[in-house]
Amino acid sequence: MKSSPSEGLLDLVEQLKSKSNLVILTGAGVSAESGIPTFRDAQEGLWSEYNPEDLASPAGFRKNPKLVFDWYAWRRSVVLKSLPNMTHQILADWTNKFPNLTLITQNVDGLHQSAGSKGVIEMHGNIHRLVCCNKRHPSPWIDGNGEVPRCEKCNSLLRPDIVWFGEMLNNGVMSEINKALKQCDLFIAIGTSGVVYPAAGFLEKVKVSGAFTAIINKEKFPFGTADVQLEGLSSQILSVLNDKI
């Protein structure tokens, strides 16, 4: 890891100019700058009474589907009031600058797409969709006061298109991610805590194949050692990077 932030910043600028296969992973820290609380931070007020598994697990949905829908409807209402921030906008611009850029996000808010990013790989789903019978549906609920909708094909309750506790990531999604990581020669993790797998293992995975690695995060990344680690708000750091490339 570089000895000083300024040295690390300049080194990352040079890597961005020279590498051809860029993979960027974004986490909750990016959306937090748009005013969207993390899952745990969102459990306040009424929602503080519930365990996370009550609100975001298959068992919780079977037990009380209306509660789960109300929770996600409330979270979605927060997202709908939020706008993409500078990080979202710069990354959308980078999709034009870097033709071989793969953007992977742990966030479910769709703000990368709202900013103009194309081909975003959503690891944990999207809060604006419902799903059943391997088919995605636009969410018909806003305020959580209606009945839980049912699938037209099988009459089961539609559920949020979100990866819940205890569930595996979609095989197709993981296949796309693994392909990108295999080809990657520059990996940048932005605004992610580094504690949720499998994303927490991406950095070490690409290091084995020789990729240059960088972390941009408000707090120190707890796992692994990147070639460059920059602590601070992602919007501020990316703005500096963007001005230099």
Residues serving a catalytic function are 124
CA distances from 218 to 24, 55, 165, 190, 225 (A): 16, 27, 25, 9, 16
CA distances from 109 to 35, 39, 209 (A): 11, 12, 31
Count other Cβ atoms within 10 Å, centred on residue 170: 16
* Pairing label, strands 125-132, 159-162: antiparallel
Identify the sign of the CA torsion 217, 220, 222, 228.
Answer: positive
- Beta carbons of 106 and 199 less than 8 angstroms apart: yes
